[in-house]
Each structure stands twice: as C-alpha cells, then as structure tokens.
Amino acid sequence: MKHVDMQSPVSFFANVARLPHKGLPVVIEADAAQRAALAETHGLLSVEAYRAELLVTSWKRNGVKVSGRVEADITQACIVTLDPIEAHVEEPFEALLLPEDSKLGRQGFEGGGEILLDADGPDSPETFSGDTIDVGALAEQFFGLAIDPYPRKPGASIGTDDDTGPAENEFQQKLRSLLRKS
C-alpha cells in the first residue's frame, strides 16, 4: 500500500509526537456525507454504516503502530445481474509506520540492513513525515481491501449455452455473442 496524498472522506489526523503510554484510542463513526463519499470512492451503491476502532501506539524508538478493526455495512451491485447485494465488512488490521528520516527505515529499504517480516504479520513499515498520521485514511485502505471485488447474488451465474432462459439479461446476451465469435 502506498501513502495516500488525497484526503480520505474519513480522515483523522493523530498527533504521534507525544503518544500516551497506553496508546491513543481513536474511533471513527462516518456520518451520512462521509458514507456517501466512501461509497463513491469504492464503487459501492451505498454505505449504510462505517466504524473504525483504532489504537495508535509507539513502536520501537520513534515508529508508530496502528492496530484495530474497521466494520461497515455496504450495498454493492451484483456483477451478473446488477441487483443490489447487502454485505457486512469486518477487517482487523495492524500497520507499522516509521518517520521518513528513520535509520531503521533507511537501512531496511536501501539494502543496508534486514527487516524480518512475518507473512501473517503486518506489512513492511510505511513512512510518515511530520508529527501527524492520517489514521482514518489508513483504516479506509483496509476497508477497501475487505470489499468483495466480484459480488455475486446467490444463484446468479453468467451461464453457458445450456441454460438460456427468459431471465437472461442484455449483458449475458452480449457476452454469449462474444464467446461464440471467439
């Protein structure tokens, strides 16, 4: 994941210069305007609910760990019928961030040292500049990853020559004609 320059509809900037010893808890509950913007950004019909619960803590000397979970109720269009499909998204996540000028970050990413990564653990650390991190945008990235890219209504299928029927829609007819030509 790369750093997002565009501001997220659910941006929340956490000051990481002086984090409390037990960490900084952050809860983001999207309002109607934010939910509409999330739906547009992620190609959804609508977002009925969106909530991110995060904990921002210190990591190593001057790094930051953001962990938590993002939950949402969304409505997508079925890729076959275009009918609305309701879905619940729930994604736990953990991300590590290092200051841009961090020695640990430079060594690991410029080939000087090694950063050991666990395949099931967090991704390699991202970098941040200044004293604030947009933890809302970070949570939104994980929300985006949790969305089913090919939502399909139960029983909906593109079909083959065997199951043509009156329910066939225009998309299926065009797809069938393209398949016959190839």
Strand segments (E) across the chain: 13-15, 24-29, 46-59, 63-77, 84-99, 126-128, 132-134
Tokens of 123: 């991704």
The model's pLDDT over 53-87, given as tens digits with 9 standing for 90+, comes to: 999 999 988 899 999 999 999 999 998 889 999 99
Residue 181 CB: number of other CB atoms within 10 A? 6
Tokens of 65: 């760990």
Span 86-101, average pLDDT: 92
The model's pLDDT over 123-147, given as tens digits with 9 standing for 90+, comes to: 678 888 888 999 999 999 999 999 9
Domain ranges within the chain, ordered by starting residue: 13-151, 158-182
Q: How far apart are CA 47 and CA 44, in angstroms?
A: 7
